[in-house]
Amino acid sequence: MRVALAVPCYVDQLRPQAARATLTLLERLGCTVSLAFDAPCCGQPMSNAGAVADACAAAGAWADSAQPFDHVVMPSGSCTHHVRHQLPRLVADARGTHAARVTYELCEFIAGPLGMPVLAGRFPQRVAMHLGCHAQRGLRAGGSSELHQAPSGAMHALLSGLEGLSIVPLTRADECCGFGGSFAVGEPELSVAMGRSRLADYTAHDAEVLVSSDPSCLLHLEGIAAHHGSRLRTLHIAELLEEATR
- pLDDT tens per residue, range 199-213: 999 999 999 999 999
What tens digit of pLDDT does each residue of 5-24 get? 999 888 888 999 999 999 99
Q: Is the pLDDT of residue 1 over 90?
A: no
What is the pLDDT averaged over residues 148-177? 92
Residue 93 has a pLDDT of 96
Q: Is the pLDDT of residue 59 over 80?
A: yes
What is the pLDDT averaged over residues 29-40? 93
What the chain holds in terms of domains, given with CATH numbers, is: 2-111 (no CATH), 126-244 (3.40.50)
What tens digit of pLDDT does each residue of 234-244 get? 999 999 999 99
Complete DSSP assignment for the chain: -EEEE---HHHHHH-HHHHHHHHHHHHHTT-EEE-----S--SHHHHHTT-HHHHHHHHHHHHHHHTT-S-EEES-HHHHHHHHHTHHHHS-SHHHHHHHHHEEEHHHHHHTTT--SS---B--SEEEEE--HIIIIIS--S--GGGT--S-SHHHHHHHTSBT-EEPP-SSTT---S-TTHHHHHSHHHHHHHHHHHHHHHHHTT-SEEEES-HHHHHHHHHHHHHTT---EEEEHHHHHHHHT-
Question: Which stretch of 42-51, 126-135, 195-204 has the lowest confidence by average pLDDT?
Answer: 42-51
